[in-house]
Structure 1
Amino acid sequence: MEPLIKVENIHKIYNPGENEVRALDGIDLEIQRGEFVAIIGHSGSGKSTLMNMLGCLDVPTSGNYFLNGHDVSKLTDNQLSDIRNKEIGFIFQGFNLIANLNAVENVELPLIYRGLGKQKRRKIAVEALKKVGLGARMKHKPSELSGGQQQRVAVARAIAAQPPIVLADEPTGNLDTKSTKEIMDILKGLHKGGRTVIIITHDDDIAQQVKRVVRIIDGRIEEDYLNEEREGA
């Protein structure tokens, strides 16, 4: 079966020349449809740069990135934007919610860019918020929600359009223990429902809940292994 994601000899070099920084230094990676993967590394390891590549937020200096069999490493900004909007749901550590919009309006926002009508996108947004347990908080603005609730709004926004890939960048980094468990349970549920879920993290405890772990150090993959008996499988 053709992998959903295939990365071949990806390099990302900043400041080429004498003071160059090799953020990614020859990455090869395949992720199949329906996998649950944690990409783990310390600050400066290259994991965030790799996330930007996988999420079509940036392009490599060299190498190829195939998504659904198509080489996206050479596409224009507009083409990458279109792929992000249709193929990938993003969850960020900082929530990235719009302060003056309530929960349901925040979830609707990316659906507007997909050209959906008002009634249809409102229905989809409401359903997504109910899935993450926020059916009673739809009219609340971010300032009226706890950190865990804000992150659940962000999850709802990421999954509303049912993208095949959910890419979560340190999704529990700003959360307490209880909220962390809630978010991880939601991500596990998404995986069991057939989504490909990729978590970027520095936290070994988070990585141990996921089926497959890819450890990156100094821009290179040092380990790629399965947690055979984990609940996240």
Structure 2
Amino acid sequence: MEDALVRVVNLCKVYNPGENEVRALDHVDLEIHKGEFVAIIGQSGSGKSTFMNMLGCLDVPTSGKYYLNGTDVSTMKDNDLSVVRNKEIGFIFQGFNLIANLTALENVELPLIYRGIDRKTRRKLAVESLKKVGLEKRMDHKPNEMSGGQQQRVAIARAIAARPPVILADEPTGNLDSASSREIMEILKGMHRSGETLILITHDNGIAAQARRVVRIMDGKIESDTINEEFVEEA
């Protein structure tokens, strides 16, 4: 088997070291390979948000190693981590994080500017990714002219435009009604079918059950790591 895209070895995150310490992550090991669709599920306080911050290179562990796409990122400084985040990870957040005075197209283009991609290529990638999420008719609309589900689709387009190796979705349906949630999950499943590597962070069993593999986290440890037998690889 090829090297894991994400490999976490003996990862710990400790807050307030000493007698009142909190072990948000407690000796976690995990491997995720290219093309996997993994849900990481846990209740509030389980350590899943801390784990998301580690996987997304938004924070560094107290101890242990994290290899992302073959590179040890666990001891990197902030500047280096921001470069890794920009190149290796596409983020989808619960709150969309769109810029209000920019159109859908401009929102998707923005991270590509930071990557130094020329204007013509940038426009082409942004248009392609908006088409993939079914928003070709909404490219010139600003966030306040779109529904929550449409805004989240713009956020997905922004995450995939630069074709990063890993897509990290943090509670991507958390702010949406049930119909929009279903739409977003269908888009994510479609991305998995086209070969994207997806890591979905959620507290919702119903959302987690739609992933190919489910990792449960509790008290900072991985409680179970199972393949979803009911997962359907639709054409």
What is the TM-score of this pair, normalised by structure 1?
A: 0.97
- Give the superposition deviation at 1:19: 2.1
CA RMSD of aligned residues (A): 1.1
SS of equivalent to 1:98: coil
What's the CA shift for 1:15?
A: 1.5
Once the 2 structures are TM-superposed, how far is the Cα of residue 18 of structure 1 from its aligned partner? Answer: 2.5
Q: State the AA in 2 paired with 1:38.
A: A
- Aligned partner of 1:67 in structure 2 is 68
What amino acid is the match of 2:98? L
Please tell me the residue identity of whatever aligns with 2:20.
Answer: N
Aligned 8 A contact 1:209 1:232 in 2: no
The C-alpha deviation readout for 1:165-202, integer Å capped at 9, x for no partner, is 10000000111111111111111111111111000000
Q: Tell me the residue number matched to 2:34.
A: 33
Q: CA deviation at 1:20?
A: 1.6
User: 2:89 — aligned with what?
Assistant: 88
Identity, % of aligned pairs?
Answer: 71
- 8 Å Cα contact 1:210/1:231 also seen in 2: no
How far apart, CA to CA, are the structure 2 residues paired with 1:232 and 1:40? 21
Off by >3 Å, runs of 4+ in structure 1: none
**How far, CA to CA, are the matches of 2:125 and 2:32 in structure 1?**
28
Aligned-partner Cα distance in 2 for 1:229–1:17:
44
SS at match of 1:74: coil
Unaligned ranges ≥5, structure 2: none
Q: Partners in 1 of 2:167 and 2:233 — Cα distance?
A: 15
2:114 maps to: 113
SS class of match (2:224): strand
Alpha-carbon distance in 1 for matches of 2:97, 2:20? 33
Cα distance in 2, alignment partners of residues 154 and 232 from structure 1: 24
Distance 1:137 1:70 in 2: 38
Residue 3 in structure 1 maps to residue 4 in structure 2: yes
Whether the aligned pair in 2 keeps the contact of 1:36 and 1:211 (CA below 8 Å) is yes
Q: Structure 2 vs 1, CA of residues 97 and 82 (structure 1 numbering), >3 Å: closer, same or farther?
A: same
Using the TM superposition, give the Cα deviation of residue 134 of structure 1 relative to its aligned residue in structure 2, in angstroms. Answer: 0.6
Give the aligned residue type for 1:95. F
Residues 210 and 232, structure 1, Cα contact 8 Å, conserved in 2: no
Give secondary structure in 2 for the equivalent of 1:222: strand
Distance in 2 between the 1:35 and 1:225 partners?
Answer: 13
- Aligned partners of 1:232, 1:110: CA distance in 2, in Å? 31
Question: How far has the Cα of 1:8 moved from its partner?
Answer: 0.7
Please give the alpha-carbon distance, in whole angstroms, between the structure 2 residues aligned to 1:196 and 1:57: 19
Deviations 1:191-226 (A, max 9, x none): 111111000000000111111000000101001101
Question: 2:164 is matched by which residue type in structure 1?
Answer: P
CA distance in structure 2 between the partners assigned to 1:73 and 1:27 by the alignment:
13
What secondary structure is seen at the aligned counterpart in 1 of 2:26?
strand
Point out where structure 1 has 5 or more consecutive residues left out of the alignment.
none
Q: What's the offset of the Cα at 1:70?
A: 1.7
Aligned length: 233
User: 2:214 aligns to what?
Assistant: 213
Deviation at 1:81, TM superposition (A): 1.0
The answer to whether structure 1 residue 79 and structure 2 residue 93 are counterparts is no
Does 2:146 match 1:145?
A: yes
Quote how far apart the aligned CAs of 1:17 are. 1.8
Looking at structure 1, the residues matched to 154 and 20 of structure 2 have their Cα atoms a distance apart, in angstroms, of 41
- CA distance in 1 between partners of 2:21 and 2:225 (Å): 27
Partner of 1:55: 56
TM-score norm. by structure 2 comes to 0.96
